[in-house]
Each structure stands twice: as C-alpha cells, then as structure tokens.
Amino acid sequence: MCGIIGYAGPREAQEVLLDGLRRLEYRGYDSAGLAIVGSSLKVFKDKGEISKLSSSMPQLRGHLGVGHTRWATCGKPSQQNAHPFLDCTGQMAVVHNGIIENHLALRKKLIDEGHVFTSETDTEVLVHLLEKHYKGDLHAALREALKEVKGTYAVVAIRTDGRELVAARKENPLVIGLGVGENIVASDVTAMLNYTNKALYIMDGETVVLGPSKVTIYDVDGRTVHRDPSIITWTVEDAKKGGFEHYMLKEIFEQPTAIHNSLLESLDELESGTLMIDHDAPSIKLVACGTSYHASMVGKYIIEALAKIPTTVELASEYRYSPGTGEGPLTVLLTQSGETADTLAAAREARRRGCPTLAVTNVVGSTIAREVDRVFYTKAGPEIGVAATKTYTTQLMAMYLLGMRLAQMRRAMGRDEIRELTSELRGMPRYIGKVLDRAHEVEAATDMLVPARDVFFLGRNINYPTMLEGALKLKEISYIHAEGYAAGELKHGPLALLDASTPVVAACVKDHTYEKMLANISEVAARDSPILAIGLEGDADLAAVADSTVSVPKVNPILSPVPLTVMVQLIAYYTARKRGCPIDKPRNLAKSVTVD
C-alpha cells in the first residue's frame, strides 16, 4: 500500500526522503513525490519509479519535508494524482494513506467555497480542508479538518513558514523515529532504520507535532500523551515484511484490513443503488484464470443463490476458443493484476461478441480497465507474494457485492435480507481475525502433510472451489502434488489413489451438504488416509472422524468460503515453510502472467 515519510532535522531533507521512499518501494507503488520547505515550498512528483523521479529532480535545499509512494485507488496513476498535494495558495503540502469516504461531498462543498482541485483523488480534499481551517496553527487546522472527514488515514502536512510537520492517524499505520536533533515520521519503520532504531507508534485518533528536537503526541481530546519509545531490533529486510518471515504470511494477515477497505465505500454504494452496474442481466458469465477462476466459481454459487440468475464460469484461456452462443451475458472478468494475457484476450472477445463487460481487478490503471465497460476495484493493496491471498478474499467480497446488487435490481432479496447479509459481511474482518489467532494450531496440524507426495482437498457446494484453491496454494508453494475434488466425485475414480501415505484435507461446514460430507470423510478414513478436517467451532462429530481438526467461527454458510480460504492459505503456507520452500517466489511462476 502507499508509503509515507516525513523529516525534520539538520540533514538535507531531499536525501532522507528519497532514501526513505526507496525503502518503502517494497510496498508497491505507481507514482511518488516529495515536498520540501526551503526558501519556498517545492513539490516534485511523477508517475513511475523513484529512480526516475530522483534523476529528474534538481537539488532542493531544505530541512523539512514529506514524501509519498502512491498505490492508486481513487484516480489513475498519473503525475496529477501523485502526492503531495498543495493547497490553492501553494503554502501547504499533504501526503495521505487511506480512503476519504465522503470525499465527493467534501469536494463539491469546497469547490462551491472557491477551492480549485487539480487531481481526481480523495486525498486532495484534505489539503483544501487544511487551507480552510488554517488560522496560524497547522496542528489546530488539521484537527478541525479531520472533524469533517469520514474514512481512514495516515496523514502528514507541512507549511512553507513552519519548522514542524503535523500528522494524524486513523486505521492506517504511522510511526515516529526518534533521532538526535532530528525526527522522522513514516508509515513503517523500514523507512527510518538508517537513522534511528527508536520508534514511537501512533495510535488511532492521535495527532502529532514533530520538529527536529521535539515530538508531541495528542490524544483524541487534544491532551498530550506520554509514550516510551520501542527499540527496533529488525534489519531493513525484516522490517519490509513487517516482522513476518514471508510476504505471503504478511499478506495473509493483512486480510482483515484488505476486506474492510474493499467493502468500505461499496456497501454505501450498494445501499444507494449505484454499485458496479446499472442494468439487470439475463445471465452472467464469469471469466478468469488460476486463483481468480476459483473466486469466479464461488461467485457462481453466490449469484445463483442470492440473485437467482443463471451463471456460468469459464477459464479465460478457453473462453476465446469457445463457440459463444446465445444472448450476450454480462461478462465479468476477474483478474487481480489486470494484466493477465488470457483474461485481456477474453475481455476483447466478450466485447466482440457484444456482451456488456465488467472487470474486477486490484490494480487501478491496469490494462483490463481499458478493455471493459465498467470496472470494480478491490482494495487489497499491493500483493508481493506470487501466491494470491488477500487479492482472492477481496475478489470474494466483490462477488458478494455483485450478487447482492443483482438481487437488489431484480428484487430477489428484500431490503432486510440485504441489510442482514451486509452486516454479516461487515463482521468478516473480525471472523478472519479469529482464524488468524489460531495460526499456531494450524501450523501444528500440518505435520501430516509435510512428507506427503500427494494430497487431496475435498469440499462440496460453495466450498468445493475453496478446496480447489487450497490445492492450488499447496502445489504452487510446497511443490506437493495436490488435487481439489468435489467430495461426491471421490468414488468415481480418485478413491483408488487413497492409502495411508495420501493425506486428505476436508472442508465440512453445517450447510445442506454436511451429512454427505461426513459420509465422504468416513469413506476416506476407511482407506487409512490421514484426515485434516476444517470445520466449524465445536463440531464434535467432525472431530470424531478426522485425525486432526482446525476450526473457523460459525458464519452464515454462504460466507463460509472466506474463513475457510484463510485456513487453507495457512495450511499451504506452514506446510511449505516446514519443507523449506522459497514461498514468495515459487519456481517457474510469475506474479502476473502476461503471455498466453
């Protein structure tokens, strides 16, 4: 996700900021910029790489400044949309991470009051709000400005006549690095480890005034807060992964936030009837590759269950060679990267066939956005591990949202039913948090998989694709041959392969397939295969037939793929880790497959 750095001290701010930005590159970004207070306030920003920015920038003298790496969410990657933003007088600069939910309403109001906007971003309202509230005290202006804002932020601002910067945090990380005669603020410690290992973590609702030799933290009521610094013992490489051993694990643990962000504005748009599409569709076709294909398979269950619309799923690599008959369905292309060659080709083919197209992607400004009629952006933030994790669960969120939107349009669900489901969705980050709290239990349960040559993943109904995804995760990062199967298909062939050396991972939730699934697990047990079951908390019947059980909180069965997916991700991760595999960069695989 975006990265922030701010500096106040005796060094040339330009050097410290550029160094900090380079260290934040691992978070992923599409543009970068900095603002420095010298004889005046100067801003340099651009689309593309920091190396390009730094080589095109003149030497700027000054000892106070802010820098930013942007991962586009609101407005495409461009020079205009890059941070920092200046107010109309050119005297204040702001950088921001997070989402300002009410930015459209604020922008309109500010424009009516005479402010001139230069970008498409939500962030720009912040600098205009600061300008509006500034009466000689930047910190006071920030506190007033934030009262008008709905959303999440880590925000840092400077003024041309100041020697201090001001900052605030809500649901986006912000940390202060305490140096000797100099101080730094950043979105994570990676950016400051070159200068100090003393860190002060800022909490939600707090604001900060930071100068070269003094840092003051204020609580939500404006009282000063005393906090002792923590000593950071990480290396720069450790810090990049937030202390996690691998990006994949970090990204698995980021899922509560990724899901929260992906739902944030969308649930309001659903409520107001403006989400994703404006026409009902007689049928839906979901098209994707790999993990995104599995999200599409879950999507079929969701759309058919909620909106009662016939839905088909096709692999993007097959779609364009298929005959393509019937009325043009709404064709939904799922691709986290937005650059998968087969999915792009499928999008073109869908349009050639006269189908309305909608893309679901995580990358603003990616190629798919130019190939379709409408785009829905998930907000998982950048994913660095090759194995898709948080981009998958946020694609699932997109499928729930699409299912409800279609159901709303054709009145297949009542307002109360939609409200009930959205409130359960809002609780999803909490449920995922509970699964993550049990990661150590999952780690222990994977011992049975580590020596295996082959593993089967079994599920039924909406969790059949969840187990296909589990098998894909395991094979790509642990190099164990794994197959996902619909449990009812077992007796039609694969049962011949089961014996004591072939473990089975089985998903069993209390939906209408529960009894059948228990029976399938017993069939497996009769062939001596070790069974690792994933079930709901407190399911004694399941525990009785399995060798080992890991459990997820009880949720509405239609939402069960979300916590179950997190469970299979953890199973794959810990198995691969015990086998000593290069988890973030599996052999022969690339994050984005741009060849067909």
Measured N-to-C along each axis, helices 390-409 and 255-271 cross at an angle, to the nearest 10 degrees, of 20
* The one segment of 154-162, 244-252, 284-292, 420-428 that binds ligand M6R by CB under 6 A: 284-292
Nearer to ligand M6R, 13 or 333 (CB): 333
The amino acid that residue 345 corresponds to is A
DSSP per-residue letters across 387-398: S-SHHHHHHHHH
Among 178, 216, 593, 596, binds ligand M6R (CB under 6 A): 593
* Nearest distance, CB of residue 393 and ligand M6R, angstroms: 12
* The one segment of 83-91, 335-343, 454-462, 496-504 that binds ligand M6R by CB under 6 A: 335-343
Separation CA 483–CA 467 (nearest Å): 9
Residue 592 binds ligand M6R (CB under 6 A): yes
Residue of 406, 402, 328, 317 lying closest to 359 (CA atoms): 402
Nearer to ligand M6R, 160 or 292 (CB): 292
Strand partners, 208: 167, 217
Separation CA 525–CA 485 (nearest Å): 16
Residue 398 binds ligand M6R (CB under 6 A): no
**Do residues 550 and 438 touch, judged by C-beta distance below 8 A?**
yes
Separation CA 492–CA 176 (nearest Å): 61
Residue count of the chain: 596
* The one segment of 146-154, 334-342, 483-491, 505-513 that binds ligand M6R by CB under 6 A: 334-342
Separation CA 330–CA 471 (nearest Å): 29
**Do residues 166 and 156 touch, judged by C-beta distance below 8 A?**
yes
* Nearest distance, CB of residue 389 and ligand M6R, angstroms: 8
State residue 448 phi and psi, 5-degree precision.
-65, -20
Residue 474 binds ligand M6R (CB under 6 A): no
Separation CA 514–CA 419 (nearest Å): 27
Nearer to ligand M6R, 68 or 390 (CB): 390
**Do residues 392 and 432 touch, judged by C-beta distance below 8 A?**
no
Strand partners, 169: 154
Nearer to ligand M6R, 522 or 594 (CB): 594
Which residue is it, tokens 């305490």? Answer: 178
* The one segment of 329-337, 397-405, 531-539, 565-573 that binds ligand M6R by CB under 6 A: 329-337
150 an active-site residue? Answer: no
Among 14, 187, 261, 340, binds ligand M6R (CB under 6 A): 340
State residue 404 phi and psi, 5-degree precision.
-70, -35
Among 158, 386, 504, 570, binds ligand M6R (CB under 6 A): 386
Residue 478 binds ligand M6R (CB under 6 A): no
Instruction: Give residue number: closest CB to ligand M6R.
Output: 290
Among 97, 160, 337, 548, binds ligand M6R (CB under 6 A): 337
* Nearest distance, CB of residue 239 and ligand M6R, angstroms: 25
Q: Which of 2, 289, 355, 581 is catalytic?
A: 2
2 an active-site residue? Answer: yes
Strand partners, 507: 534
* Nearest distance, CB of residue 332 and ligand M6R, angstroms: 13
Residue 289 binds ligand M6R (CB under 6 A): yes
**Do residues 24 and 1 touch, judged by C-beta distance below 8 A?**
no
Among 335, 394, 461, 551, binds ligand M6R (CB under 6 A): 335
- 3 state DSSP class of 562: helix
State residue 376 phi and psi, 5-degree precision.
-120, 125
List C-alpha distances in Å: 30 to 77, 389, 508, 573.
6, 21, 42, 28
* Nearest distance, CB of residue 61 and ligand M6R, angstroms: 44
Residues in the interface with ligand M6R (CB under 6 A) total 16
* Nearest distance, CB of residue 387 and ligand M6R, angstroms: 4
Nearer to ligand M6R, 471 or 524 (CB): 471
Residue of 73, 100, 65, 68 lying closest to 84 (CA atoms): 68
Which residue is it, tokens 């089961």? Answer: 498
* Nearest distance, CB of residue 289 and ligand M6R, angstroms: 4
Among 476, 560, 562, 581, binds ligand M6R (CB under 6 A): 476
Interaction residues for ligand M6R, span 349-368 (CB under 6 A) = none
* Nearest distance, CB of residue 569 and ligand M6R, angstroms: 10
Q: Which of 554, 578, 585, 591 is catalytic?
A: 591
**Interface residues toward ligand M6R, by CB under 6 A:** 289-292, 335-337, 340, 343, 386-388, 472, 476, 592-593
- Catalytic residue positions, numbered: 2, 591
